[in-house]
Amino acid sequence: MRAFRLGVAFVAALTAFAQSALADVVTDWNEKACAIVGKVGPGSAGHRYMAGVQVAVFEAVNSIEPRYSPYVARIPAPAGASVDAAVAAANRATLAELMPGERPAIETAYQAAMASIPDGQSKADGIAVGERAAAQVLARLKADGADTPEAYAPHTSAGRYVPTVIPVFTSWPKRKPWILDSASQFRPGPPPELSSEVWEKDLREVKMLGGKNSAARTAEQTAIAQFWEETRPLIYHGVLRSAATAAPGRTVAQNARLLAAASMAVDDALIAVFDAKYTYNFWRPVTAIRNDHAAGRSMVKADLGWAPFIPTPMHPEYPCAHAYRRARSARCSRASSATGSRCCAPAARRRTTPRVSGRARTTSCRK
Letter string b/e over residues 19-33, b meaning 16 or more CB atoms within 10 A of that residue's CB: eeebbbbbbbbbbbb
User: What is the model's pTM?
Assistant: 0.85
Three-state SS at 318? coil
d(CA 144, CA 172): 10
Q: Which long-range contacts (CB under 8 A, 24 or more apart) does 147-156 make?
A: 147/171, 148/174, 148/175, 155/281
Q: What is the pLDDT along the chain (367 residues), one digit of tens a residue?
A: 444 444 444 455 545 544 554 689 999 999 999 999 999 988 899 999 999 999 999 999 999 999 999 999 999 999 999 999 999 999 999 999 999 999 999 999 999 999 999 999 999 999 999 999 999 999 999 999 999 998 888 888 889 998 888 999 999 999 999 999 999 999 999 999 999 999 999 999 999 999 999 999 999 999 999 988 888 888 888 888 988 888 788 999 999 999 999 999 999 999 999 999 999 999 999 999 999 999 999 999 999 999 999 999 999 999 988 776 666 666 666 666 555 444 554 443 433 333 333 333 333 333 4
The beta strand positions in 190-314, using DSSP E, are 293-295, 298-300
Angle at the Cα of 303 from the Cα atoms of 298 and 306, rounded to 5 degrees? 125
Alpha carbon 79 to chain centroid distance? 35
d(CA 45, CA 172): 10
Of 166, 48, 29, give the one whose Cα is nearest residue 99.
48
Radius of gyration of the chain (CA): 22
Residue 363 backbone dihedrals phi, psi, to 5 degrees:
-70, -15
Domains of the chain in start order, with CATH, are 2-149+170-348 (1.10.606.20)
d(CA 223, CA 228): 9
Interhelix angle 252-280/45-64, nearest 10 degrees:
150
